[in-house]
Amino acid sequence: MSKLTNLQGNKACALGAIKAGCRFYAGYPITPSSEIAEAMARELPLVDGTFIQMEDELASMAAVVGASAGGVMSMTATSGPGFSLKQENIGFAAMTEIPCVIINVMRGGPSTGMPTRPAQGDIMQARWGTHGDHPVIALTPWSVEEVYVETQRAFSLSESLRTPVVVMFDESIAHLIESVDLSSVASASIITRKKAVGSVETFKPYAITEDLVPPMVCPGDGFRSHTTGLTHGEDGFPTQEPEAAQSAVKRLLDKIEVNREKIEKFEAIDCDDSDVVIAAYGITARAASYAREQLETMGIRCGVFRPLTLWPFPEEAFKSAVQSAKLVLVPEMNAGQLLTELERLATPTQSVLGLNKFDGEPIDPNAMIKKIREFLDE
């Protein structure tokens, strides 16, 4: 029997986290993500979990990293300004390989910007927000149901690859209410972190393994581990020896590359033999899907490429999807952050155009149709 319920995007995020096994949340209220904290405050005690409202975003991220290091699946949620403040500790989690999930409900910016209006201006901050070369995974759902599923997938990727994972969706998705039957939604298969086994005497907390993801120590299990944000060797202790430092950072990056098949997720809608492909994510991809349908009625072959995994970007899948396209349109609620990446991936004979809007309003499908028809009529 169907169990349809009207569910908000932010609430779906909280329920997905609980379903995945999240049992610790630390955060600080910030529009438009606050409903996630409210839901976690209600739901976590029901499963013997812990909710803490911290004094600010820096402390929130530190608490999440600490709880995860203690063996508990942990999450926080924020928006653009708070995401900026979390970056130092996200970098620490990346370097020390402590799993954690960060939900970023995007709003207008820069600075305080427009707290109640949608935007997609944190795309490059998710990729390069913290300093240095570091691994990152960022997921971008486009519906309430997908928020539920992708939040679970975020935990699986974070735990199995020992890396921070960001789930990014804009205010429109966060406050969207859709009818969802969670009982029929296929939940993601949660892969938990590898735990240290074997000899205590020879154990190396950052050893180079076949999948490049070392087993993780849990306090009290008898294994010694030194945790530091400094560049460290396989033993966990700081090093400035060039070969060891190069190897340590290279492994962090390579573990994402060698596991791309596990990470990448995308949807290519009618891209084969299309003259035009619209590359979009989040609420903008929903508008693009409608624009595609309208363009088809006009006799214009149009596809939509939608990355659910934004970082690492599914480059080969994108190249395959746009191989017949004359035009790749990239609509974004920012000044063109993904555009430069896709220009790099296009062929010299393809035109890659941006359709950018950052006034606090979603991009209308008709604006996409107009841009495409102007190009084709030239």
One pLDDT digit (tens) per residue for the chain, 378 residues: 458 889 999 999 999 999 999 999 999 999 999 999 999 999 999 999 999 999 999 999 999 999 999 999 999 999 999 999 999 999 999 999 999 999 999 999 999 999 999 999 999 999 999 999 999 999 999 999 999 999 999 999 999 999 999 999 999 999 999 999 888 776 666 788 888 888 888 899 999 998 999 999 888 888 888 899 999 999 999 999 999 999 999 999 999 999 999 999 999 999 999 999 999 999 999 999 999 999 999 999 999 999 999 999 999 999 999 999 999 999 999 999 999 999 999 999 999 999 999 999 999 999 999 999 999 987
**72 in the same domain as 165:** yes
**176 in the same domain as 280:** no
Q: Identify the domain boundary among 184, 212, 243.
A: 184
The CATH number given to whatever domain includes residue 299 is 3.40.50.920
- The tokens 């290279």 sit on which residue? 250
In a domain, 164, yes or no: yes
In a domain, 213, yes or no: no
Residue 293: in which H helix or E strand, if any? helix 282-297
Mapped onto helix, strand or coil, the DSSP state of residue 22 is: coil
Q: Which residues contact 212 (CB under 8 A, 6 or more apart)?
A: 251, 254, 255, 258, 259
Q: Which residues pair with 74 in a beta bridge?
A: 24
**151 in the same domain as 40:** yes
DSSP letters along 105-170, please? Answer: EEEE-STT-EEEEE--TTHHHHHHSSSSS---EEE---SHHHHHHHHHHHHHHHHHHTSEEEEEEE
Q: Identify the domain boundary among 184, 217, 238.
A: 184
Q: Which residues contact 34 (CB under 8 A, 6 or more apart)?
A: 10
In a domain, 284, yes or no: yes
The CATH number given to whatever domain includes residue 75 is 3.40.50.970
How many domains does the structure of the chain reveal? 2
pTM (predicted TM-score): 0.95
**287 in the same domain as 149:** no
- Alpha-carbon separation of residue 276 from 254, 309, 340, 357 (angstroms): 34, 22, 18, 20
**163 in the same domain as 34:** yes
In a domain, 104, yes or no: yes
- The tokens 């809608």 sit on which residue? 269
In a domain, 71, yes or no: yes
Residue 23 lies in domain: 5-184
**42 in the same domain as 148:** yes
In a domain, 219, yes or no: no
- The tokens 């969670």 sit on which residue? 182
**165 in the same domain as 44:** yes
- The tokens 């084709």 sit on which residue? 376
In a domain, 198, yes or no: no
pLDDT value of residue 1:
47
**157 in the same domain as 16:** yes
Q: Identify the domain boundary among 184, 212, 230.
A: 184
In a domain, 332, yes or no: yes
pLDDT value of residue 188:
60
